[in-house]
Chains A and B, each alone.
Chain A
């Protein structure tokens, strides 16, 4: 039976990645001075599983690499080796290394990365450091296994005496002595020379105990190791003695008997003749020579194709022997050979040839299979690019929901068959049930895309540890709410911003131990990652107890960079000052460190989070630490929307982008150069965009006084959008326009409203681009500055 192992590769790779995550986490948890045995076990188990799978699925290099790892871990597990930080670091590096190897396997190239080679060498040094055992014995074992076929070829029929005295508990281990006998009989001709039955009286007889023992004789071409393999599982407890009966070693006579092809037609039976020999002589071996057997299609059942070689011991005359062949001797070929003691070992030619022929053929076959394999493997990896693991409880829940939906449906169906007005209350009840079912079903389906945030958090312990070590800082990372669920897509997109924020906290937030001591704080800094649900949002907080942000440093820098005028600086609230770090090109690190990048940081983080319809806030207190709070929508498939109408059409604003809305007053609006108009919102000028202009919708009613203005934020700038009226706020399901059409500037998607019509969801930055406001923003900003200066002068 041939099973294509390729089909399991993807599963193996996925679970190995998970295993590596588990291993990494356990390594992080590990205290080298007092390792917890369960943690060690977890680490060992991961390495062990990967090794087992890699070997089974043919990833030799990975198996090779994990083997040495497993050997080391096994020694640690059994307390025969101590653990130190250096070793833990090596193990952590090996996790990275195995990830790399798995990546390579996924790309269908199983190379030994340079890092793996180096690391393996280091591990070998560790292993060889105190004992020379290393991984050599294992390799020797493999060598031996490979040698086996060669022995096989040389082996010939031998007779073995086997004394099998099973342990009395053998049956309790699930081993069946008869099964072993059956197994032996498959190897060759098995004779039972003696059965021992040592049972007590019936009163003490225990049916679960084995009272039997056997003396056996096995004539086989199998070698000792093959016989021992049969006893493999019981050999330690039971008494098993296997001895070769060196009958061949005594001088004897070999009778070569090749009957005539038509011997059967003469009514003679070769077996009868051999039986006669068995009766009259001491037969020590009978070999059947089958090399004359023809192809099946030319096989004639009336012909005899077999010949025999019969070894007879003792002394006798050839004539005595020939008596047995009396009736056939004329037609048959009968020869006698004197075999001396030493010659007996000479290999049986026909057997040897058969085996040598068959071996290369086999290996050719496996060669062909492995040649073919890579092409099919490539296909399977690419098809599995994006999969999601869903908890069985979620699926069950979904099935329940569908079940209820079916019930409601059949209830409504029943109602419709003979409907009367009196049944209206029942109908209403059914419909509200249907509504409930639908909503629950929708929620359940949405939950399928939800993953616990630990998927995004899991990389941080390692990252914080490594960074901390490099910067010489002591940091304790605490993670809360790791089971908070978040949409898979959101999760994927929030990963990088989070990495950036945590890095910042380690690099710029937490101080060096001596600084902390001087400030009267615990030497060890704390970083908390906290995730929780609030309303329809997921909030993620990154809290550190480091030095906090220095308002004055921020302001000085902003002025230096020309982002702020000195006069404005004094008026800034703390919040506004901290917000400065979200401006493009603003970096507070005095020198650029390789840890936190080069000041491309916070503005990109903010932009990414806004792209997810999320929000970011920063609170900080000098000397006490900072807290960054990110709030994200639970899913990208649903959006909190503000419905507005413009000329009979309904559009949807993402609520997160709205700052405020107000009456639109024509007189408060000034036209500036570039065809743009601005209006005065408190003390700043805000560009105004008329949605119907920008979208080219024909405007019928011309009553601008009725209009409203929605002030939104687009990439850090405020913009006013003029609409006709505000409608409800509701959650909308986002549908793609690109599926059947193409991207439309200013629109991020569409949704279907309660009445079945389509409404477009606005893409605020897109609208700003469409209106060309981004180009006049500079102008608007200058205008605001000018205005403020003027005010100050007059005041």
Chain B
């Protein structure tokens, strides 16, 4: 069982991710944008994985990754970003910011579990 922080401004995506991960026995914390996620990341220790959308209001995913990497607790934590295929430049931008990898939307719950299985 891993502790996972799921960040997405879209409630339906967030619920789907969270539901799937919870179903697989993980502990899931949800945030709806970067600011909220960062706050949560600061208050939670021992997060094993962060899954974050890129396009979000207030603080986008790229900035969130940069902020998280700057925190000692999140130096090595796997961070996966949710992207769409059109965002190939976003992938490199995300990697530059410190993202571990990505999951391409649309994905289904099984693909999600398979992917996170790679890192936890």
Contacts and interface: CB of A to CB of B under 8 A. Distances in A.
Q: Verify that A and B bind, or say they do not.
A: yes
B83 to A, nearest CB: 9
B84 A48 contact: yes
A48 B61 CA distance: 14
A52 B13 contact: yes
Given A49-B55, A173-B95, A1 B100 contact: no
B95 A12 contact: no
B92 A53 contact: no
Given A175-B101, A236-B92, A55 B11 contact: no
Contacts of B105: 51-52, 55-56
A53 B15 CA distance: 11
B101 A5 contact: no
Contacts of A42: 57
B98 A11 contact: no
B44 interface: no
Contacts of B77: 174
Contacts of A71: 86
Contact of A183 (B11, B113, B118): B118
A15 interface: yes
Contact of A56 (B9, B75, B108): B108
A51 B84 contact: yes
Given A45-B56, A56-B105, A174-B77, A11 B110 contact: no
B101 A1 contact: no
A327 interface: no
A138 interface: yes
A695 interface: no
A171 B105 CA distance: 25
Interface string A31-71: 00000000001101100110111111100000100010011
A141 interface: yes
A172 B119 CA distance: 14
B10 A52 contact: yes
Contact of B98 (A48, A173, A179): A173
Contacts of B79: 174
Contacts of A44: 55
Contacts of A41: 55
Contacts of A51: 84, 105
Interface in B1-35: 9-13, 15-16, 19-20, 23-24
A49 B95 contact: no
A725 interface: no
A31 B56 CA distance: 23
Contacts, number: 116
A74 interface: yes
B109 interface: yes
Q: Size class of B's contact patch? A: 35 or more
A45 B59 CA distance: 12
A53 B12 CA distance: 7
Nearest to B98: A173
A50 to B, nearest CB: 9
A11 B98 CA distance: 31
Interface string A182-194: 0100000000000
A393 interface: no
Interface secondary structure of A, over-half rule: helix
A44 B100 CA distance: 25
Contacts of B15: 8, 11
A179 B119 contact: yes
B24 to A, nearest CB: 6
B85 A138 contact: yes
Contacts of B106: 52, 54-57, 63
Residue from B20, B56, B79, B118 whose CB has the most chain A CB atoms within 10 Å: B118
A2 B118 CA distance: 19
Residue from A2, A45, A173, A176 whose CB has the most chain B CB atoms within 10 Å: A173
A336 interface: no
A2 B23 CA distance: 9
A171 B100 CA distance: 9
Given A11-B11, A56-B107, A71-B86, A3 B102 contact: no
Contacts of B76: 171-172, 174, 176
Given A174-B79, A208-B75, A49 B10 contact: yes
Contacts of A67: 86
Contacts of B113: 1
A7 B79 CA distance: 27
Given A1-B24, A3-B20, A15 B11 contact: yes
Contacts of A138: 85-86
B98 A1 contact: no
Residue from B12, B19, B77, B98 whose CB has the most chain A CB atoms within 10 Å: B12
Interface in A220-247: 230, 232-233, 236-237
B84 to A, nearest CB: 6
B82 A52 contact: yes
A174 B99 contact: yes
Interface string A659-701: 0000000000000000000000000000000000000000000
Interface string A1-31: 1110101110110110000000000000000
A2 B20 CA distance: 9
A741 B21 CA distance: 49
Given A172-B75, A176-B119, A56 B13 contact: yes
B95 A1 contact: no
Contacts of B100: 173-175, 233
Interface string B69-106: 10000011111001011100000100100111110011
Nearest to B24: A1
Contacts of A49: 9-10, 13, 55
A229 B30 CA distance: 28
A233 B101 contact: yes
A175 B101 CA distance: 8
Contacts of B20: 1, 3
Contacts of A14: 11
Contact of A70 (B9, B84, B107): B84
A332 B54 CA distance: 60
Contacts of A5: 16, 108-109
Contacts of A174: 69, 76-79, 98-100, 119
Nearest to B50: A174
B5 to A, nearest CB: 13
B12 A15 contact: yes
Interface string B50-64: 000101110000000
B55 A48 contact: yes
B118 A179 contact: yes
Contacts of B55: 41, 44-45, 48-49
Given A5-B108, A173-B95, 20 more contacts: A3-B20, A3-B109, A8-B16, A11-B11, A15-B11, A44-B55, A49-B10, A52-B84, A56-B16, A57-B106, A70-B84, A71-B86, A74-B86, A138-B85, A173-B99, A174-B76, A176-B78, A176-B119, A230-B118, A237-B95
Which 9 interchain pairs have the tightest Cβ spacing?
A55-B106, A233-B101, A174-B100, A12-B12, A56-B106, A3-B109, A11-B12, A52-B105, A174-B78
11 contacts: A1-B24, A5-B109, A44-B55, A45-B57, A51-B84, A52-B105, A55-B106, A56-B13, A56-B106, A174-B69, A233-B95
